[in-house]
């Protein structure tokens, strides 16, 4: 039952995110100068992972994932510590600093109000 | 943490304000406020549609007009799945409605016939002028009919290229369906550069997928203007495993180069002689779209030289060329490249309009190819500016592992679909 409840909760949050997204036509991009590098780097990610990292299909969503999870995943791909189809090839193209900036950017995205 | 702040909220309100303003455009001359910046985008494909959306997302105060004659967009990516009987045309067709309604892009369904770079105007077919502060030109490719003897645009009614647009792809599909078992399909890919380098080989695979199921005695012969092709080792081993000897490939030295076409006789001539086919898919050499060629944006190669940081034309200031038409260093002519270039260019244009220095960013490309319904492979690369040239980052990228098992191929097929869903949503959703 708990799993089912969690699933419903997640679906509700996802639905809410999509509704807010569609109402406002997206979240503010390039809002602050200091964020720009991470946002600029993230523009490449979104061609596979969806606008703002919100994936509509089989690609994992990056939007709002924790900094630790994102950064660690990319590092593991980079150093062949985690199996992948394509990410191990992509992660090797980024420095540790770039990985941190990208991770900080996606981790920073969230919707102010959420479903209680 | 980034949240929707009051400042952002004002910006978003601005977006709604823009939407209502935009409705009045085209209803007569408008007195423009000095602060109102206008960007026109010509061409609504992977480059143009993405650029229009991201310009509006990055700066809701921009007035963005997208000029595209077609009412809906049929994607070249995944069109080989249609030829393999695995997708319907509707699944590959996308509407411009959300760009207009959700993002406030002024979508004008008309043909741009001319660019006046000195007065900064795009001239439409009906004579209407669209003034711009910055222009993005993203017309994709046009086919070249002047590179093979006796070949002309009229021949595509008999030997479709199926490399652009739904009409030609549908014709090739109908021809494959009409062909009898034991028939011979010729696929003739051009030399690089052309749109979607691995595309012809994915096409051979998926046509084989269809033939194996419905017409198993048929053959596919590839006559290639190249000596090698992308992901060759992966394709070759996949073909052998999936289709036995149904697909045969002849490189340039083995008589692959097409010298002459006889469309009425359903034949091509190579250095080694005449080859007839029941279905012939000649994919001709390509160059930048017509508007780019007519506007002095191409060099003698037929493609558009650009500053590879901002994608601003080296030949005309204030005009940016993105996607297949642009010469973009090592980046291939792919939908992914165009999409990535569009976002980088949108951010560069906003910087330039605000008299700030554009910043360079790492770019990427991943091209998936299907060999059958649940068997896909990929090639990937990360790109950076080195001096003035976009180059791939050493030690990164590359192709799918050659010795991966079927579960990896199946996973890549699932991710390939995921890529399609994401990138088309990133353009139109």
Q: What is the pLDDT along chain B (429 residues), one digit of tens a residue?
A: 454 443 443 343 333 333 322 222 223 333 444 468 999 999 999 999 999 999 999 999 999 999 999 999 999 999 999 999 999 999 999 999 999 999 999 999 999 999 999 999 999 999 999 999 999 999 999 999 999 999 999 999 999 999 999 999 999 999 999 999 999 999 999 999 999 999 999 999 999 999 999 999 999 999 999 999 999 999 999 999 999 999 999 999 999 999 999 999 999 999 999 999 999 999 999 999 999 999 999 999 999 999 999 999 999 999 999 999 999 999 999 999 999 999 999 999 999 999 999 998 899 999 999 999 999 999 999 999 999 999 999 999 999 999 999 999 999 999 999 999 999 999 999
Q: What does the pLDDT read at residue B361?
A: 87
User: CB-CB: which of A22, A57, A85 is closest to B411?
Assistant: A85
- Are B127 and B114 contacting, i.e. CB atoms less than 8 angstroms apart? no
Q: What does the pLDDT read at residue B352?
A: 97
Beta bridge partners of B141: B288
Query: What's the order of all strands across the beta sheet hosting B247-250?
Result: B247-250, B219-223, B184-188, B279-282
**CB-based contact A93 B340, cutoff 8 Å:** no
Q: Compute the C-alpha angle A70/B416/B203, nearest 5°.
A: 155
The SS3 of residue B4 is: coil
* Residue B366, φ and ψ in degrees, nearest 5: -135, 125
**CB-based contact B361 A40, cutoff 8 Å:** yes
The string over A29-66, giving b where at least 16 C-beta atoms fall within 10 Å of a residue's C-beta and e elsewhere, is: bbbeeebbbbbbbbbbbbbbbbbbbbbbebbebbbbbe
Its pTM stands at 0.88
**CB-based contact A25 B12, cutoff 8 Å:** yes
**CB-based contact B1 A57, cutoff 8 Å:** no
**CB-based contact A56 B421, cutoff 8 Å:** yes
Of B404, B295, B201, B15, nearest to A21 (Cα)? B15
Q: Does the interface predicted TM-score (ipTM) exceed 0.85? A: yes
Dist. CA A61–CA A77, nearest whole Å? 17
Of B287, B273, B340, B289, nearest to B311 (Cα)? B340
CA distance B400 to chain A (A): 7
**Does A59 touch chain B if contact means CB atoms closer than 8 Å?**
yes
Of B244, B254, B242, B186, nearest to B370 (Cα)? B242
Of B46, B40, B42, B44, nearest to B333 (Cα)? B46
Nearest CA in chain A to B51: A43
- A-chain CB neighbours of B393 within 8 Å are 92-93
* Residue B214, φ and ψ in degrees, nearest 5: -110, -30
- Are B4 and A112 contacting, i.e. CB atoms less than 8 angstroms apart? yes
pLDDT band for position A111 (cuts 50, 70, 90): confident
Beta bridge partners of B269: B260, B274
Nearest CA in chain A to B376: A85
Nearest CA in chain B to A20: B4
Dist. CA B111–CA B107, nearest whole Å? 12
The structure tokens listed for A51 are 């606008």
**CB-based contact A58 B415, cutoff 8 Å:** yes
Q: What does the pLDDT read at residue B8?
A: 45
């Amino acid at each position: 039952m708990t799993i089912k409840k969690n699933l419903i909760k997640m679906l509700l949050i996802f639905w809410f995110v999509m509704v807010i997204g569609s109402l406002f036509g997206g979240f503010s991009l390039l809002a602050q100068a200091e964020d720009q590098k991470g946002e600029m780097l993230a523009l490449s990610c979104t061609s596979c992972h969806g606008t703002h990292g919100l994936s509509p299909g089989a690609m994992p969503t990056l939007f709002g994932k924790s900094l630790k999870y994102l950064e660690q995943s990319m590092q593991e791909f980079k150093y062949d510590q985690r199996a992948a189809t394509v990410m191990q090839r992509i992660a090797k193209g980024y420095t540790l600093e770039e990985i941190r900036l990208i991770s900080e950017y996606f981790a920073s995205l969230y919707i102010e109000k959420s479903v209680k | 943490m980034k949240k929707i702040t009051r400042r952002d909220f004002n910006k978003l309100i601005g977006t709604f304000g823009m939407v209502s303003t935009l409705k009045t455009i085209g209803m007569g001359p408008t007195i423009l406020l000095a602060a109102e910046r206008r960007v026109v985008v010509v061409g609504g494909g992977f480059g143009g549609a993405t650029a229009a959306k991201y310009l509006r997302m990055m700066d809701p105060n921009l007035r963005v007009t997208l000029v595209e004659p077609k009412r809906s967009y049929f994607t070249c990516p995944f069109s080989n799945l249609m030829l393999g009987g695995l997708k319907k045309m509707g699944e590959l067709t996308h509407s411009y409605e959300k760009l207009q309604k959700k993002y406030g892009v002024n979508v004008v369904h008309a043909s741009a016939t001319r660019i006046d770079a000195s007065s900064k105007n795009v001239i439409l077919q009906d004579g209407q002028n669209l003034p711009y502060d910055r222009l993005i030109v993203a017309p994709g490719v046009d086919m070249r009919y002047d590179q093979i003897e006796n070949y002309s645009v009229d021949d595509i009614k008999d030997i479709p290229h199926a490399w652009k647009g739904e009409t030609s792809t549908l014709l090739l599909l109908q021809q494959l369906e009409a062909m009898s078992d034991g028939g011979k399909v010729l696929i003739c890919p051009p030399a690089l550069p052309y749109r979607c380098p691995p595309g012809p080989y994915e096409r051979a695979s998926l046509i084989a997928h269809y033939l194996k199921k419905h017409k198993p005695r048929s053959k596919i012969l590839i006559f290639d203007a190249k000596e090698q092709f992308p992901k060759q080792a992966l394709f070759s081993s996949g073909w052998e495993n999936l289709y036995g000897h149904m697909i045969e490939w002849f490189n340039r030295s083995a008589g692959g180069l097409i010298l002459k076409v006889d469309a009425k006789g359903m034949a091509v001539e190579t250095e080694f002689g005449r080859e007839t086919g029941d279905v012939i898919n000649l994919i001709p050499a390509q160059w930048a779209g017509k508007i780019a060629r007519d506007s002095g944006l191409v060099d003698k190669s037929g493609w558009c030289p650009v500053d590879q940081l901002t994608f601003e034309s080296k030949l005309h200031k204030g005009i940016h060329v993105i996607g297949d038409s642009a010469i973009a260093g090592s980046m291939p002519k792919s939908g992914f490249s165009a999409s990535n270039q569009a976002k980088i260019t949108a951010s560069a244009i906003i910087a330039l309009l605000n008299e700030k220095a554009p910043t360079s960013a790492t770019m990427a490309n991943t091209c998936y190819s299907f060999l059958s319904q649940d068997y896909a492979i990929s090639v990937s690369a990360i790109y950076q500016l080195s001096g003035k040239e976009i180059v791939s980052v050493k030690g990164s990228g590359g192709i799918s592992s050659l010795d991966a098992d079927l579960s990896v191929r199946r996973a890549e097929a699932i991710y390939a679909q995921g890529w399609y869903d994401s990138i088309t949503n990133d353009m139109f959703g």
